[in-house]
Amino acid sequence: MSKILIVEDEDAIRRVLKKVLSEENSKFIIDEAIDGVDAEKKIKSDNYDLVICDIKMPKKDGIDVLNFTKKYNQETNVIMISGHGDLKTAVKAMRIGAFDYIEKPPDLNNLLNSVRGALKSKSGGGKKVKKTIKTGKFEIVGESKKIVELKDLIVKISPTNAKVLILGPNGAGKELVARQIHLNSLRNDGPFVEVNCAAIPSELIESELFGHLKGSFTSAHKDRTGKFEAANNGTLFLDEIGDMSLSAQSKVLRAIQENKIQKVGSEKDIFVDTRVIAATNKNVKNLISSNKFREDLYHRISVIELNVPKLDDRKDDIPELVSFFLDQISVQYDKNLITIDNKALKKLASYSWPGNVRELRNVVERLIILVESDNITEKDVIKFSGK
């Protein structure tokens, strides 16, 4: 039997939240607090499984309540509710340890999905919030300061339903970060569906994302399921979203806001429960100022922004990356494991890497193919790296 505390200074919103939660499960024990001071008294005197807390309140705000809750009982999950103008505060809350963030006025489907995830995590009936990162085959290699900070953020945000925008140059590993978030989320049993928005012609992007009905346009020879629907109960990764047309952006915004889509050629709504992670190598704020990207969509997809550093800003990771690629590619080519000497590593670290980790991997692969011995030397790097 789950105990939930609703912390909200607006009576009407508090009543609606209590009603919705009671209808979701009549066995929920639901308490209410009218402000931060009232909330802290109740949290101190009782053991709650979940706290749903507004950010802006008199006396003590939601951040104070979040900090108090986590200090008093680390295992209690907290869902923050915030107005559109509080996005920076919402991001701060997620970094502190909030389970999720819901924008006002709260979408009830989003709220209930978040409540289910939070209670599932708390109860132990599902997956616990990860304290260390789960890697699988999608490992983020490196221990530089920026990479450690990135891994820590992935651990914090993965179990939530928060929308994430991943920023960084081509080849830095944005897709890898998206897969890590999915792998460490409560949705990791569901699908991970990737869409490269830059690779799909603008006239086909809506069909790709939302699907279509047979006959809805000339080449629509049969019904098609779109990526939003295919990613239901999982994660949709919108790679290079900065290249998406304005028309498609408006429909993506609706899908995220309302959790529903319409196939091309249909007027029927299809409800979806899909977490959206987006990525781009472009400066989104510049795109907004030049009217190439919708500002309202930007605010929807960037509850959390993650910056993936370029390789030139994390050269301390090059030896570890090279070792990782040597092992990985040697197995791929069915070769004996190849080593590399320190002078060769220092030479690789001295180069500039505009193509980032992807370029480094290509160079390592080239060396494995072209070097005839089982040890790569500085001379080999100079001769075969192409630098």
Max distance between CA atoms of the chain, in angstroms, equals: 75
CATH number of the domain encompassing residue 362: 1.10.8.60
Q: Is residue 130 part of a domain?
A: no
Angle at 245 between CA 244 and CA 250, to 5 degrees: 100
155/303 same-domain check: yes
pLDDT of residue 215: 86
Of 307, 326, 343, the last residue of a domain is 307
Total domains in the chain come to 3
259/364 same-domain check: no
206/234 same-domain check: yes
Tell the residue number behind the tokens 């007027």, with chain if given.
Answer: 267
Q: Is residue 249 part of a domain?
A: yes
Burial class (CB within 10 angstroms; exposed 0-12, middle 13-18, buried 19+) of 232: middle
pLDDT of residue 171: 96
Helix intervals (H) in the chain? 11-24, 36-45, 62-72, 87-96, 108-123, 145-157, 174-183, 205-210, 227-230, 246-258, 284-289, 295-301, 318-332, 342-350, 356-370, 378-384
**DSSP type of residue 34:** S
379/265 same-domain check: no
Q: Is residue 11 part of a domain?
A: yes
Q: Say what the pTM is.
A: 0.75
CATH number of the domain encompassing residue 84: 3.40.50.2300
d(CA 367, CA 369): 5
d(CA 139, CA 285): 30
360 phi-psi bin (left φ>0, alpha ψ -120 to 50, beta other): alpha
Domain residue limits at 318: 311-384
151/271 same-domain check: yes
154/271 same-domain check: yes
302/161 same-domain check: yes
Picking from 62, 121, 103, the residue whose alpha carbon sits closest to that of residue 302 is 103
355/303 same-domain check: no
Q: Is residue 224 part of a domain?
A: yes
pLDDT of residue 137: 62
119/248 same-domain check: no
Tokens coding 80: 């923050």
Of 248, 277, 307, the last residue of a domain is 307
pLDDT of residue 126: 39
Decide: 180 and 135 in contact? Cβ < 8 Å: yes
Q: Is residue 29 part of a domain?
A: yes
365/262 same-domain check: no
Q: Is residue 137 part of a domain?
A: no
Per-residue pLDDT of the chain (387 residues; tens, 9 = 90+): 899 999 999 999 999 999 999 999 988 999 999 999 999 999 998 899 999 999 888 889 899 999 999 988 888 999 998 875 566 677 778 778 888 888 777 778 778 888 988 887 765 443 443 444 555 567 899 999 999 999 989 988 888 888 999 999 999 999 999 999 999 888 888 999 999 999 998 888 999 999 999 988 878 888 989 999 999 999 999 999 999 999 999 999 999 988 899 999 998 999 998 999 999 999 999 999 999 999 999 999 998 999 999 999 999 999 999 999 998 898 888 888 889 999 999 999 999 999 999 999 999 999 999 999 999 999 999 999 998
pLDDT of residue 122: 67
CATH number of the domain encompassing residue 301: 3.40.50.300
Q: Is residue 129 part of a domain?
A: no
pLDDT of residue 133: 55
299/156 same-domain check: yes
Tokens coding 215: 């006959």
pLDDT of residue 182: 94
**DSSP type of residue 80:** E
Q: Is residue 133 part of a domain?
A: no
Tell the residue number behind the tokens 């020879």, with chain if given.
Answer: 221
111/26 same-domain check: yes
